[in-house]
């Protein structure tokens, strides 16, 4: 690999693995969509404990579980596709390289495909962990008693929040893996494309978290929901 490859690869890992602290640093004034949503979910889980019928809460959780299942299934198909090329032998790699990828030694091509595969595998693990925690949350919703003391309701809502927020945080991290997998795929065309892809993915994610219309709307809703 060339020095430019190593520089672009370093930028990739800094933006990918350091995304959360970098996001907090860049959006420390406005806040982030994820932080605002954690408050919204806490209000939701607290309100859930005060409802006699929790059918809507269960349906909303079911929708989230279905979404995570869809992404996990799609991720698995992509892993199979990339893994089939990476571990398909010399002929598969040479055939893939002939469709427009940068002319590099086979070992370097394997490294580029491996980077894509690592992003997808990590995303799959995030989706699996998100699904497990969502199912735990759903069990808490089903176990919530219809009549209880106010302190117990608050405690139960807090427990459900402590499950739901990490669950949907893992889901968001899994979705984020697609952005960086696309950036990693740009490396197939050269290190400059990798650097541009990483910068574009990172800037897009930061904007959606702090400056997008969705982020502004949730920020306004949070101010109304907070006590």
Backbone angle region of 144, left / alpha / beta, with phi > 0 → left and psi within -120 to 50 → alpha: beta
Average pLDDT of the chain to the nearest whole number: 86
What percent helix, strand, coil does the chain show, rounded to 5?
85, 0, 15
- Residue 56: name the closest of 40, 38, 72, 44 by CA: 44
For the stretch 136-173, pLDDT in tens is: 988 888 877 766 777 777 888 888 889 899 999 999 99
Q: Is the dihedral of CA 152, 157, 158, 164 positive or negative?
A: positive
Higher pLDDT, 227 or 110: 110
Higher pLDDT, 129 or 152: 129
Q: Is the pLDDT of residue 226 over 80?
A: no
Residues 6+ apart with CB under 8 A from 154: 46, 49
Give pLDDT, residue 211: 84
Percent of the chain, pLDDT > 70?
92
For the stretch 65-124, pLDDT in tens is: 999 999 999 999 999 988 888 877 777 666 666 666 666 777 888 888 899 999 999 999
Higher pLDDT, 70 or 5: 70
């Amino acid at each position: 690999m060339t020095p430019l490859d190593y520089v672009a690869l370093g930028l990739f890992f800094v933006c990918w693995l350091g995304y959360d602290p970098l996001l907090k640093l860049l959006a420390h004034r406005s806040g982030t969509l994820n932080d605002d949503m954690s408050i919204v979910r806490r209000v939701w889980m607290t309100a859930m404990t005060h409802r006699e019928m929790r059918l809507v809460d269960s349906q909303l959780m079911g929708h989230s579980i279905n979404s995570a299942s869809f992404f996990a299934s799609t991720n698995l198909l992509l892993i199979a596709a990339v893994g089939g090329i990476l571990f398909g032998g010399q002929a598969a790699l040479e055939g893939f390289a002939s469709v427009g990828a940068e002319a590099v030694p086979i070992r370097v091509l394997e490294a580029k495909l491996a980077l894509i595969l690592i992003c997808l595998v990590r995303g799959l693990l995030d989706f699996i962990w998100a699904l497990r925690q969502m199912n735990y949350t759903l069990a808490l919703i089903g176990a919530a008693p219809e009549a209880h003391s106010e302190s117990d309701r608050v405690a139960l809502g807090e427990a459900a929040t402590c499950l739901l927020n990490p669950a949907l945080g893992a889901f968001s991290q899994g979705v984020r893996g697609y952005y960086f997998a696309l950036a990693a795929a740009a490396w197939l065309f050269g290190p400059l494309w990798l650097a541009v892809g990483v910068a574009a993915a990172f800037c897009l994610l930061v904007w959606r978290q702090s400056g997008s219309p969705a982020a502004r709307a949730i920020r306004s809703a949070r101010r109304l929901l907070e006590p």
